Copies of this chain bind each other. A is one copy, B any other.
Amino acid sequence: MKRAVCLISGGMDSFVSAAIAKKQGYEIYGLTVRYGQRNKKEIASAIKVAKFLDVKRHIITDVDLSWTRSALTDRSLKIPKRVRRGEIPATYVPARNTVLVSIALSLAETVDADAIFIGVNAVDFSNYPDCKPEYIKRFQKLIDIATKKTSGGGKIKIHTPLLLMSKTRIVKKGLSLGLNFSITWSCYRNGKKPCGRCPSCILRAKAFALAGLKDR
């Protein structure tokens, strides 16, 4: 059976991305990375997502990036209320996806997986440099020679099935795959309920509204 490492954050996008991998017949190795996020709800959701997808193995690992001074890791910084077009928001974590994909690569080689699935999306948060098609392309070129497996002729391919999808299309895709989005967590804050006001909550609400659906 072909194997894939799927990055699972606890949010909607990585849930859909991993579900697509499963649909494509991959045996799933879920990977959740705690990088010092303020938000602990994400990890609890990631565990639920991994269970929902009945993954072969779910690895939760730590990399301490708490010194990065991002609004996602540093409590002294405010989560921005809105993000202007063309601007990279304070929630940007320096080199986060580069670190995440590197760890996924390490796991992929360890379990002899051919694929890494990551739910990056260049449409709604198009300002993040590490969510763009050219970024993924260059990472693939690095991977092609970076490991024992790939330098010996084996393949480890990064899959980004959501890269060019709108958030609305992602919601619809997930529902068509029978996913229960109520187990995911999108809010940047750590409250009992989603705040409904941060950029991530607003984006999620908009996506459900445009899809003509109700978010439980």
Q: Does A211 contact B (CB under 8 A)?
A: no
Among A38-46, A131-139, A182-190, A200-208, the stretch that binds chain B is A131-139
Number of copies: 2
Closest Cβ neighbor of A66 among chain B residues: B61
Q: How far is the CA of A119 from the CA of B33 in the complex (A)?
A: 27
Q: Does A98 contact B (CB under 8 A)?
A: yes
Residue pair A107, B62 in contact (C-beta under 8 Å): no
Residue pair A148, B106 in contact (C-beta under 8 Å): no
Residue pair B88, A96 in contact (C-beta under 8 Å): no
Q: Does A68 contact B (CB under 8 A)?
A: yes
Residues of chain B contacted by A132 (CB below 8 angstroms):
145
Q: How far is the CA of A92 from the CA of B67 in the complex (A)?
A: 28
Closest Cβ neighbor of A57 among chain B residues: B67
Interface size class of A (residues with CB under 8 A): 35 or more
Residue pair B105, A147 in contact (C-beta under 8 Å): no
Residues of chain B contacted by A110 (CB below 8 angstroms):
67-69, 94
| A 126-159 contacts with B by CB, 8 A | 129-130, 132, 134-135, 138-139, 141-142, 145-148, 150-151
| A 37-80 contacts with B by CB, 8 A | 59, 61-65, 67-69
Residue pair A95, B67 in contact (C-beta under 8 Å): no
A161-179 interface code vs B (CB 8 A; 1 in, 0 out): 0000000000000000000
Residue pair B141, A129 in contact (C-beta under 8 Å): no
Known: A96-B106, A132-B145. 12 other contacts (CB 8 A): A63-B103, A94-B107, A95-B102, A98-B102, A99-B105, A102-B102, A129-B145, A129-B150, A129-B151, A135-B145, A138-B141, A138-B146
Closest 10 CB pairs of A and B: A129-B151, A94-B109, A95-B106, A63-B63, A102-B102, A95-B105, A99-B102, A98-B102, A138-B142, A94-B106
17 contacts between A and B (CB under 8 A): A61-B67, A68-B110, A93-B106, A94-B148, A95-B102, A95-B103, A95-B105, A95-B147, A98-B105, A98-B147, A99-B102, A129-B145, A129-B146, A132-B145, A134-B145, A138-B146, A142-B142
